[in-house]
Chain A
């Protein structure tokens, strides 16, 4: 106790470490490096980041090793993506099983979900080939197959079934294990439309696998079209995907995801209001107002990294965000927030639905057909985010917001005339107020998205 504390700090640690692999005594840098490795392996939610960042190097090395004459070799590239996808499955299973470490049990448990992924992709490919050759009902089968798998896995109460049979949960939570299934299903569905509309040729199975399991877009999207992927993979354009620009996106994405979103999470529902202590009502307002910023930094940060990492390999990926909080209304907002999802929904559901409704009820009712389609699209978007009434209500709230703007715009154009409406749109003060209102509406509606019913009940019970 009386000794100099400095004896015990800094320099080499006087700790004998004989852990099998390391026979010698380790210095601080080695210990810290090992601690970092252990930290990432024991924090599976963070595994995505190193996997993502290491992927381009790994992919380039493996594909170049197999054939030095080509920039891109389909088979090794597909295999590298499959390996990466399996690694992500293992980390997702580790989260679901609450395992400290990705041990053999976790790896074994990850095999089944991975096989389910593979089966989905092979089935989708087989149906795509069949629909291209024969058309007719096969088109619907090809379009719906990935979606049905998603519905079956994400929305059927697998746990409830297994629990009722055995009295205990026997299967890890599918919502966690099948990480990225929502994105994978939508990407494959989108590809069917691209192939059938002759936007792209029928891909080879290796290109199909590479697209389906493309590691950067596997867990968080975006739902990028195949034409962008394959075009830039075969013939990269460094003007569109500059190395420096891609690196910048990665750095900015990491800063948003790891730094800003972590700081903002301190004001979030879970961290602030659900800490087990009473709170004044101001805290609820703070959580409501900061949650959209947290969500934006978290999600757009990851998407920035995805775009940057893909860009390093010369692969173009669709942008997902475009300054959404500068949106003057909800219609504009949804064209800037999760752009790939809204584009997908526009192409795959909204446009066909409006056409069908307009055809059925006449062009006179076009505006109502548009409104009904918007609402339908957002109900699906809500449920796509998760199974539950709160997600349904979230979708409806978003739909009602866009529908309200749809009718308000029609009414204002009628009332103000073209020149008056243009002047209204140019007014800076109105723009600021409108942006604030859009943000506030989105922030309030996210309360349904961010919390389960139980959490909502708890939040109101802790307010004093």
Chain B
């Protein structure tokens, strides 16, 4: 076994290299960080419609009436144009519905996207947040967090924020520092080269799959409801080892960022509503499974948009007609789900509008 280092000088050099890399986020903070826009542009196209989101968040400054925030589930299952059209008809004036989404769940990512959006736009009347669900959540940073998390961007962490989570956050910043350093000497370019990251293209791709017979999206769709967290339709899910992707409930990291999202929305004067999306993996049930009793997290005055899977897909086998995979819906499923949430979204919007006026 050769010695790890040939000399004391080599040991010192190695130690210095480790220390410099570890301190890079702080050094960058002092030297000058790349803009948030540049940091966001480092997210790879595999993470979703990055180009579209960058344009929506940083370039376009028009006002949206309703803003959906979430993961790829929002991208595939909610059709903003359809919703806007129907809502406009219902409300009586043109409505603009926008979505903020990247693949995979991460409350931190949702917080930062929403924060940047609110920094560049007039606040929307209504923010619909897709809350973590069984099989669609994570308890740590978003898989791409290291790309855009900059030292100094974090909201003040409470004293009792677990030190391991703090370490995790700093680790993400260390990991992302080399790319941010690079962004200081040349710009991160962004464009959905082949459109594969674009939400509309993603829907077209799904639509091109073999047609599924008897998908009757035009049929009357049972509506979702705008409910208080204590409504009997909800049940708290119990993670089980039998589930292939079991975890252990919401951790402090996710809860912290969800709380900050709520504060952000409240600070902007908008109304926050939570939304549940049915998954292909979910059992056909009369209940909507909650991974957390959201009333205890967001307060009992929060409202949730939810529709039990059995009610939404009554008389139809959703796995045959609406779910090409285990999680996301196909365009017919997205139409059905979008139609189902129309009423509660309109209701929440009108109530928020009246309140804000």
Contact = CB atoms under 8 A, between A and B. Distances in A.
Contacts of A21: 241
Residue from A5, A304, A307, A464 having most chain B Cβ neighbours under 10 A = A5
Interface in A316-355: 316, 319, 323
Contact of B252 (A13, A266, A282, A462): A13
Contact of A246 (B1, B298, B302): B1
Contact of B298 (A1, A248, A308): A1
> Which size bracket describes the interface of B in this complex?
35 or more
B34 to A, nearest CB: 14
A18 B239 CA distance: 7
Given A6-B159, A8-B256, A308 B179 contact: no
Chain B interface mostly: loop
Residue from B178, B193, B255 having most chain A Cβ neighbours under 10 A = B178
A238 to B, nearest CB: 10
B33 interface: no
Contact of B196 (A6, A100, A276): A276
A259 B45 CA distance: 25
Nearest to A103: B244
Contacts of A101: 244
B180 to A, nearest CB: 9
Contacts of B249: 13, 15-17
B350 interface: no
Given A100-B244, A259-B18, A277 B189 contact: yes
B160 A248 contact: no
A263 B302 CA distance: 42
Interface stretch (B57-65, B90-98, B257-265, B336-344): B257-265
B41 A277 contact: yes
B260 A266 contact: no
Interface string A31-56: 11011001000000000000000000
Contact of B246 (A19, A252, A272): A19
A245 interface: yes
A15 B193 CA distance: 44
Residue from A8, A252, A260 having most chain B Cβ neighbours under 10 A = A8
Given A276-B196, A319-B2, A260 B241 contact: no
B241 A266 contact: no
A314 B324 CA distance: 55
A278 B191 contact: yes
Contact of A10 (B21, B44, B162, B186): B162
Residue from B51, B236, B247, B272 having most chain A Cβ neighbours under 10 A = B247
Contacts of A130: none
Given A16-B238, A19-B241, A245 B193 contact: no
A275 interface: yes
Contacts of A271: 44
B190 A9 contact: no
Interface string A254-290: 0100011011101100011001111110110010000
Contacts of A278: 189-191, 193
Interface in B193-251: 193, 196-197, 236, 238-242, 244-251
Contact of A1 (B174, B182, B263): B263
Interface string B18-51: 1001000000000000000000011011100011
Contact of B4 (A8, A19, A304): A304
Interface in B159-184: 159-162, 164, 174-179, 182
Contacts of A272: 179, 182
B192 interface: yes
B44 A17 contact: no
Contacts of B239: 17, 19
Nearest to A16: B238
B163 to A, nearest CB: 9
A3 interface: yes
A249 B247 CA distance: 35
A9 B255 contact: yes
B21 A8 contact: no
Residue from A277, A286, A311 having most chain B Cβ neighbours under 10 A = A277
B259 A266 contact: no
Interface string A428-464: 0000000000000000000000000000000001101
B4 A277 contact: no
A1 B240 contact: no
A28 interface: yes
B2 A9 contact: no
B1 A242 contact: yes
A241 interface: yes
Residue from A263, A286, A323, A464 having most chain B Cβ neighbours under 10 A = A263
Contacts of A16: 236, 238, 249
Interface string B289-303: 000100011110110
A275 B262 contact: no
A20 B299 CA distance: 31
A464 B189 contact: yes
A323 B179 CA distance: 27
Q: What 6 A-B pairs have minimum CB-CB distances, sorted nearest first? A: A276-B45, A15-B249, A10-B160, A275-B44, A9-B252, A311-B1
Given A10-B161, A13-B251, 12 more contacts: A11-B160, A17-B248, A20-B240, A31-B248, A35-B247, A100-B244, A242-B1, A267-B178, A276-B197, A277-B193, A308-B1, A319-B2
14 contacts: A8-B252, A9-B255, A26-B248, A35-B248, A245-B2, A246-B1, A248-B3, A255-B18, A259-B21, A276-B193, A278-B191, A280-B189, A308-B1, A462-B193
